[in-house]
Structure formats: structure tokens, C-alpha cells
Amino acid sequence: MRIAIVDESASRAAVIGEGLAALDDCELFVVTERRGLVARIAHIDPDIVLMDLGNPSRDVLEEYFAVSRALARPIAMFVDESDDEAIAASIDAGVSSYVVDGLAPHRIRPILDLAVRRFNAFSRLQADLAEAKGQLAERAAIDTAKRILMNNRGLTEPQAYAELRKTAMNQGRRIAEIAEAVVTAHKLMGGT
């Protein structure tokens, strides 16, 4: 596992490193400079990012939240103090674990595991949502294509669907693709 530790303080980064010392097959990368952070983390290509921010100002916190939004990785963020607004912002930014006053070596591993599990669960939810939206869009295209065929060719709904299905089978394509082509052609011909 490749783990990026983001911390401007080498001593605090060492605490995180100590908490991860027992992990087998673990490669640690410590990043101590904020400048160019997204590019540096992208170059490291870690499996997880652990950010220890200590007691950041609002601007610094928002800067790290921007980094979180740009990374498609599990992120555990450690801060010394927080408030409801910062916690809500961390969730919006995609932070998997937001830990207040919890930087201790014995807590690092469970927090890391939690961050990975939350990230994976959230990723599955996003994938399921994207699939559902795609299916809804396909269903809408098929319904629109059926209406076009019904109006233009005087077909019944079952006949319009059968026509879409037959064309899809003949062309070795999906019904949704044929439906989208029908809708696009109809729009090009001046249909609404």
C-alpha cells in the first residue's frame, strides 16, 4: 500500500509514520510543502492520503479541502480543533475521515482502515447512482424514440418498441443506442 502523509511538521508526520510502522508492504511518502500539492500527490499515486493539519486557519483548511476534491483517493484528515462548519466542509470535499484531536500512533491504523472503507462505500454508492442515472436516461431516450415512431409512422407502442428492438438486433447495437439515433435524427429533421 502506498500512503502519502501530508504534514508541514516533520515531527507530526513521524507520529503518523510510527502508527503505520506495523503495516507490511507499506510505502510511506511524506509531503511537507503545500505548494503544488495535487501534482505531487498525483506523482506519488498513493492508495490513501493522510493529512495532518494541526490547527489550520480557515484559508489553509479550505485549500486542503480543494486538494481533497481533486483527489479520487481515501483521505483521512487530522486537525487539533474544529467546528461544525469545518466538519460539513470536509464531508463536501470528500474527506473520508475527519479526526479532531486524535493524532496518536495507536489510532492511526484504525483511522486508516475506516477511511478506506468509507471511501470504498461512497465510491460504490456513486457508481450505483451513475448507473441508475444512465439507465433512466436510456429509458427516457427509448420512450422518446417510441413516441417519435408512433407519431411519424402511426405505430402502436408495442410496434414502435418492436421496430427499435429489430433494428438494434440487425445492427448488433443496444436498443438505447438506436433510440438515441432516432431522437437525434428527429431533431436534425426539425422535430421537437
Residue whose C-alpha cell is 483511522: 111
Residue 69 C-alpha from the chain's centroid? 9
Residue whose C-alpha cell is 428527429: 186
Count how many residues are written for the chain: 192
| Backbone φ/ψ region at 8: left (φ over 0), alpha (ψ -120 to 50), beta | alpha
Separation of alpha carbons 19 and 8, rounded Å: 18
Separation of alpha carbons 56 and 65, rounded Å: 12
Separation of alpha carbons 103 and 140, rounded Å: 50
Give every CB contact of residue 26 below 8 A, 6+ residues apart in sequence: 1, 3, 20
The series of mean pLDDT values per 10 residues for the chain, 192 residues long, is 86 83 83 84 88 78 79 85 82 83 80 88 90 95 96 94 96 95 92 68
State residue 33's pLDDT score: 83
Q: How many CA atoms lie within 13 A of 161 on its CB side?
A: 6
State residue 97's pLDDT score: 85
State residue 192's pLDDT score: 64
| pTM for the whole structure | 0.65
**CATH 3.40.50.150 fits domain 2-103:** no
By C-alpha distance, which of 30, 11, 37, 1 is closest to 109? 1
Residue 98 C-alpha from the chain's centroid? 17
CATH number of 133-188: 1.10.10.10
By C-alpha distance, which of 55, 53, 57, 3 is closest to 30? 3
Structural domain boundaries in the chain: 2-103, 133-188
State residue 137's pLDDT score: 95
Separation of alpha carbons 10 and 136, rounded Å: 50
State residue 26's pLDDT score: 84
